[in-house]
Amino acid sequence: MAVPVAEWRPAAAAAAVPAEMSAVRIDRHGSSEVLELWRGPVPACAPGELLVRVAGAGVNPVDCKTRAGKGVAALNPLPAILGWDLSGTVVAAGEGSDRRRVGSRVYGLVRFPQPAGCYAEYVAAPQGELALAPRTLDLADAGALPLVGLTALQALAEHGRVGRGDKVLVHAGAGGVGHVAVQIAKVLGAEVAATASAGNLEYLRELGADAAIDYRARPFEQGLGGFALVIDAVGGEVGRRSLPLLAPGGLLVALADDPDQALAAELGVAARRIRVHPDAAGLDRLARWVDAGRLELSIAARLPLERAGEAHELVESRRLRGKAVLLL
């Protein structure tokens, strides 16, 4: 259920909006070196939009892929300001938007996969894609939650329809999507197994995983089976080896690449690649869980905007426990 507008309580009076802002953008595809600090005009608020003074912008693998010319690069023409995750304070409202929201602390997954430009001090975002940020989470840190939180929630609740007693396997359980998915699955009442490297096994147990599996020590599938849902953020051979672990009628949700449909059909299970979509109601649900202490967001790196290239390198290393966020 979405938060009623009457409950949007401005945190402070809106500050004056300058004519220009700083942002990080690319004018060509390539390595992290193509990310450049840029000065340009603050975007105008179109009808139905809110202007957000950004506090934090999450950095995700899709950002890195798009920077390199993959991911959703075809939908984001150059020059492009990357980023789809944000948190911040509403400072202005476009025509037809609710001006009572000015001054509110918000977060959101904006326009994905179309251009959103969240690596910037100001972003004009559709009003319907923003929700009140969790009260108990640092506002800048909240900018790292929308994409991974909604991906996990949509995989589990929308696609997997996971409920009490279902068995769920989460690959890369200590990663951005993974560490959130483990916790949401437990909130939904599932029995959860998750894979990670040896150094992250205790962390998985702290998140609530019933079984923490070191994928390097032995074949992860050894002794496993009967899963209603597998969330695969790795892809390739991991996805193929996971399909036989599904119970009849079970589902593998692929986040990294297209799953092996022929093998899935042969085994009598389903497999589909999903793409997250903006969802304010889902963000409200995530915020309630955070504020109730049922969902924790792990921030592995907090970097200023001008170090966006370093943030991309950290994400691409696949060694982060949790998320990276740009501070504005």
- The sheet that has 270-273: what strands, in order across it? 211-214, 191-196, 167-170, 227-232, 246-254, 270-273
**Which CATH number does the domain housing residue 123 bear?**
3.90.180.10
Query: Which pLDDT value is given to residue 222?
Result: 94
Strand duo 85-93 + 80-81: pairing: unpaired
Query: Which pLDDT value is given to residue 319?
Result: 85
- Classify 192 as helix, strand or coil: strand
User: Contact, 39 vs 20, CB < 8 A?
Assistant: yes
Q: Is residue 281 part of a domain?
A: no
Average pLDDT, the chain: 95
**Which CATH number does the domain housing residue 195 bear?**
3.40.50.720
Query: Which pLDDT value is given to residue 8?
Result: 64
pLDDT digits 0-9 by tens, 120-169: 999 999 999 999 999 999 999 999 999 999 999 999 999 999 999 999 99
- State the average pLDDT over residues 233-252: 96
Q: Are residues 195 and 304 in the same domain?
A: no
- State the average pLDDT over residues 100-111: 96
Question: What's this model's pTM, rounded to 2 decimal places?
Answer: 0.94
Q: Is residue 78 part of a domain?
A: yes
Q: Is residue 35 part of a domain?
A: yes
Query: Which pLDDT value is given to residue 294?
Result: 98
**In this model, does residue 47 exceed pLDDT 70?**
yes
Query: Which pLDDT value is given to residue 9?
Result: 62
User: How confident is residue 5, by pLDDT bands cut at 50, 70 and 90?
Assistant: very low
Query: Which pLDDT value is given to residue 151?
Result: 98
Q: Are residues 28 and 102 in the same domain?
A: yes
Q: Is residue 278 part of a domain?
A: no
Quote the domain boundaries for residue 189.
Answer: 148-273
List of E strands, the chain:
20-26, 36-41, 49-59, 80-81, 85-93, 105-109, 122-126, 130-132, 167-170, 191-196, 211-214, 227-232, 246-254, 270-273, 299-304, 323-327
141-168 in b/e form (b: 16+ CB < 10 A) is bbbbbbbbbbbbbbbbbeebebeeebbb
Q: Are residues 153 and 134 in the same domain?
A: no
Query: Which pLDDT value is given to residue 318?
Result: 85
Query: Which pLDDT value is given to residue 6?
Result: 46
User: How confident is residue 21, by pLDDT bands cut at 50, 70 and 90?
Assistant: very high
pLDDT digits 0-9 by tens, 82-92: 999 999 999 99
Q: Are residues 140 and 185 in the same domain?
A: no
Q: Are residues 105 and 202 in the same domain?
A: no
- State the average pLDDT over residues 280-298: 98
pLDDT digits 0-9 by tens, 63-77: 999 999 999 999 999
> How far apart, in whole angstroms, are the C-alpha atoms of residue 183 and residue 189?
10
Work out how many domains the chain is built from and give that number. Answer: 2
Query: Which pLDDT value is given to residue 16?
Result: 85
**In this model, does residue 198 exceed pLDDT 70?**
yes
